[in-house]
Amino acid sequence: MKRLAIIPARGGSKRIPNKNIRDFCGQPMITHVLGVARDSDLFSAIHVSTESESIRAVAADFGFPPDFPRAEELADDHTPIMPVLHYVAEEYAKRGQHFDEIWLLMACAPLIDAQDLEKAATLFREAGSKQPLLAVSEYPAPIEWAFSRGANGALTPVQAGMFAVRSQDIEKRYFDAGSFAAFPSARVLESHGAGSDSGFIGYVLPKGTAIDIDDEQDWQLAEAIYRVRSARAK
């Protein structure tokens, strides 16, 4: 089984400048997931897809120099992930390198570990390796209890009356944990545009592992959890 891990890491992050290589608990953020990918021993190739020389240098110093840069037209704020995966897979194909599976590993997912990837690979294989897999986590509260909030602070229930239904009587719902996904290579190579969000199987991550780091509060929470876990592991 030949697996390619692709870690998208463009250099233009605005909400958290340089977030892909900013220090996270003592080392550049991206090196956490690079180390996890390496330690899982799952991948024939691990590629950091970036247009940034700074990110390329950090990846290279950690032992994973990108084989080629990301095309500039795929490095703006609006490009979906799937065209990036498609581009990388095609570039490897031009070099005569073909893979059975293509994995997306997010650069800012420092709380996953090698066992998560190994267990997900087992689930993917046991499901026949034909459906893509997505790391998900359970919503901390029923989405049926959600409100929208107006400019004046007024709350409007998304599903009126659901507040009266007990949480244990409501079906569990899951969200994209922003950590990783796995695809049969054909799903990537035959994709168009942003691709599709249908047909996935879910690998469930613990709630404390699923933090999509989009702002400073997310960053600080992820660092706090990482430090606690690291202290317990000693």
Per-residue pLDDT of 191-204, as tens digits, reads 999 998 999 999 99
Q: What is the DSSP string of 48-96?
A: EE-S-HHHHHHHHHTT---SSPPPGGGSSTT--HHHHHHHHHHHHHHTT
* pLDDT beyond 80 at 12: no
Q: Which two tokens stand for residue 69?
A: 């840069």
In this prediction, residues 53-67 reach a mean pLDDT of 97
Please give the mean pLDDT across all residues of the chain: 95
Assess whether pLDDT exceeds 90 at residue 232: no
Tokens describing residue 144: 């049926």
**Mean pLDDT confidence for 160-181:** 95
> Residue 234: exposed, middle, or buried by beta-carbon count in 10 A (0-12, 13-18, 19+)?
exposed
Residue 13, pLDDT score: 80
Mean pLDDT of 170-193: 95
The residue among 42, 90, 38, 101 whose CA lies nearest residue 68 is: 90
Identify the pLDDT of residue 14: 78
208 has a pLDDT exceeding 90: no
Topology given in CATH for the domain delimited by 3-135+175-205: Spore Coat Polysaccharide Biosynthesis Protein SpsA; Chain A (3.90.550)
Condensed to tens digits (0 to 9), the pLDDT of residues 105-148 reads: 999 999 999 999 999 999 999 999 999 999 999 999 999 999 99
State the average pLDDT over residues 98-103.
98
- pLDDT band of residue 234 (cuts 50, 70, 90) is confident
> Is 46:34 a contact under the CB 8 Å cutoff?
yes
Averaged over 170-191, what is the pLDDT? 96
Residue 213 has a CB neighbour count (10 Å cut-off) of: 24
In DSSP notation, 87-150 reads HHHHHHHHTT---SEEEEE-TT-TT--HHHHHHHHHHHHHTTS-S-EEEEEE-SS-GGG-EEE-
Average pLDDT over residues 60-77: 94
Q: What's the pLDDT band for 28 if we cut at 50, 70, 90? A: very high
How far is it, in rounded angstroms, from Cα 234 to Cα 230?
A: 7
Give residue 77's pLDDT band: very low, low, confident or very high (50, 70, 90).
confident
Q: Distance between CA atoms of 90 and 130, rounded to whole angstroms?
A: 20
pLDDT at 212: 87
* Whether 59 contacts 48, CB under 8 Å: yes
